[in-house]
Structure 1
Amino acid sequence: MPIVTFHKNGQTYRDEVAPKSNLVVRAGIKAYPYPHLQYQCGMGKCATCATRVLSGAEHLPPPNWKEKKQLGERLDQGWRLTCQLWIEHDIELQQD
């Protein structure tokens, strides 16, 4: 089971999620242990769910066209759209 470590507002939240979980989908159905995840559309259109990947990025697929369009140069700084990620390995995220 992948472990997600999530940093927000000076707090750290850590819990397991089922393999191939999408954090925004799980938050939308209230089955996600991190109530402070900021998200909105869940479709890669608004970038509200943008998070910086602190560790585990090597296990993620390359950014898709939605992430490239929404994040641009921030991709080079480790930012990804959480709604576009399906978690299969441990990951550490930070959202401002």
Structure 2
Amino acid sequence: MPTVIFHKGGQTYRDEVQDRTNLVVRAGIRKFPFPHLSYSCGMGKCGKCACRVVKGAEHLPEPNWKERKRLGDRIASGYRLACQLWLTHDAEFVQDESDAA
């Protein structure tokens, strides 16, 4: 099971998740990283779930067209949309209020 570390507002949250977990789906059903993860639509349109990947980016798929459209140049700085990621390996993310696209 992947371990996810999530940083927000100067706090660090950690939990194990099932393989092929989407953090926005989990937050929507009030499981980790709820209530810490900011999100809204869950479809890659709003960008509210934008996070910077600190560790584990090498295990994530290439950004899809929704991420490229919403995040643009921020992808080069390590940003991804949590709603578009299904985690299969350990990962670490940072999200601050200024991260929302």
What is the Cα deviation at residue 31 of structure 1?
A: 2.4
Matches of 1:70 and 1:62, distance apart in 2:
14
Unaligned runs of 5+ in 1: none
Q: Secondary structure at the match of 2:68?
A: helix
Matching residue's letter, 1:79: Y
Matched residue count = 96
What is the Cα deviation at residue 13 of structure 1?
A: 0.3
1:39 aligns with 2:44: no
Matches of 1:8 and 1:14, distance apart in 2:
11
TM-score normalized by structure 1?
A: 0.97
Unaligned runs of 5+ in 2: 97-101
Matching residue's letter, 1:18: Q
Matches of 2:42 and 2:33, distance apart in 1:
17
Matches of 2:82 and 2:20, distance apart in 1:
13
Instruction: Give the match for residue 76 of structure 2.
Output: 76
What is the Cα deviation at residue 35 of structure 1?
A: 1.9
After TM superposition, the runs of 4+ consecutive aligned structure 1 residues lying more than 3 A away are none
Instruction: Give the match for residue 91 of structure 2.
Output: 91
Instruction: Give the match for residue 63 of structure 1.
Output: 63
Matches of 1:78 and 1:5, distance apart in 2:
16
TM-score normalized by structure 2?
A: 0.92
Task: Check 1:33–1:48 CA distance in 2 against 1; reply closer, same or farther (3 A cut).
Answer: closer
Task: Check 1:70–1:86 CA distance in 2 against 1; reply closer, same or farther (3 A cut).
Answer: same
| Native 8 Å contact 1:6 1:34 kept in 2 | no
Matches of 2:35 and 2:2, distance apart in 1:
18
- Give the fraction of aligned pairs with identical amino acids, expressed as a percent: 67
